[in-house]
Chains A and B, each alone.
Chain A
Amino acid sequence: EAQVTQNPRYLITVTGKKLTVTCSQNMNHEYMSWYRQDPGLGLRQIYYSMNVEVTDKGDVPEGYKVSRKEKRNFPLILESPSPNQTSLYFCASSETDLQETQYFGPGTRLLVL
């Protein structure tokens, strides 16, 4: 089954404690992306990757890091989380040509105390 998986689905942490949210897709997609969703703001792109070892900043990259060492994985790293990073995070993947649909992961709800 074609899917994007994210882990964990729910996470409560404290300010400053490094965390990683994993994202994996099994469709051999080249393009992967991370979004955060906040009420009234819709989805905002954090980082995206056009291919292995190629990553670019989205609209709201501050406080986040990503890596793309393998095609299937695109982890999101918060080196020192802060309460304003409390949000719902989505990973997505698609073929290079984004006229194809993006496949979204189930989302990760993060609460930073």
Chain B
Amino acid sequence: AQKITQTQPGMFVQEKEAVTLDCTYDTSDQSYGLFWYKQPSSGEMIFLIYQGSYDEQNATEGRYSLNFQKARKSANLVISASQLGDSAMYFCAILDSNYQLIWGAGTKLIIKP
């Protein structure tokens, strides 16, 4: 069965610094997808970035990039030049072969001014 582990329940980062949010996964599927979502205090879920297991390049979307290390089963999210508005919960998820998204428990990120 697929599993997502986010080992950092919470993080404090100084504004303008880069931040890395950890995500490791466990799957026996050869083909899978990895997602990162942001949930601000208002509650909605916001898609950030997607990485396919066969994508050779790390995915990037603006200030977000995914550090994909397939052999280590790691899909860390990197946010460059953090902003106060980045304070939120961040969730990593894996899409399994049944088209189900399996979610991690999340990391609460707080950006300090």
Contact = CB atoms under 8 A, between A and B. Distances in A.
Given A58-B100, A98-B101, A106 B47 contact: no
Given A92-B45, A102-B101, A42 B50 contact: no
Interface string B49-91: 0101000000000000000000000000000000000000001
Contacts of A40: 105
A99 B52 contact: yes
A88 B37 CA distance: 16
Range, interface on chain B: 20 to 34
Contact of A45 (B35, B101, B104): B101
A5 to B, nearest CB: 12
Given A42-B91, A98-B33, A101-B50, A50 B44 contact: no
A37 B6 CA distance: 16
- The interface residues of chain A, by DSSP majority, are classed as strand
Interface in A91-113: 92, 98-99, 101-104, 106-107, 109
A41 B9 CA distance: 11
Interface in A36-51: 40-45, 48, 50
A35 B5 CA distance: 18
Interface of B: 4, 6, 33, 35, 37, 43-47, 50, 52, 91, 93, 95, 98-106
26 contacts: A31-B99, A42-B4, A42-B103, A42-B104, A42-B105, A43-B91, A43-B101, A43-B103, A44-B103, A45-B101, A45-B102, A58-B100, A90-B45, A92-B45, A98-B95, A98-B99, A98-B101, A99-B33, A99-B95, A101-B35, A101-B47, A102-B35, A103-B47, A104-B45, A107-B45, A109-B43
A-B CB proximity, top 5 nearest: A104-B45, A101-B47, A42-B103, A43-B103, A42-B105
Interface of A: 31, 33, 35, 40-45, 48, 50, 56, 58-59, 88, 90, 92, 98-99, 101-104, 106-107, 109
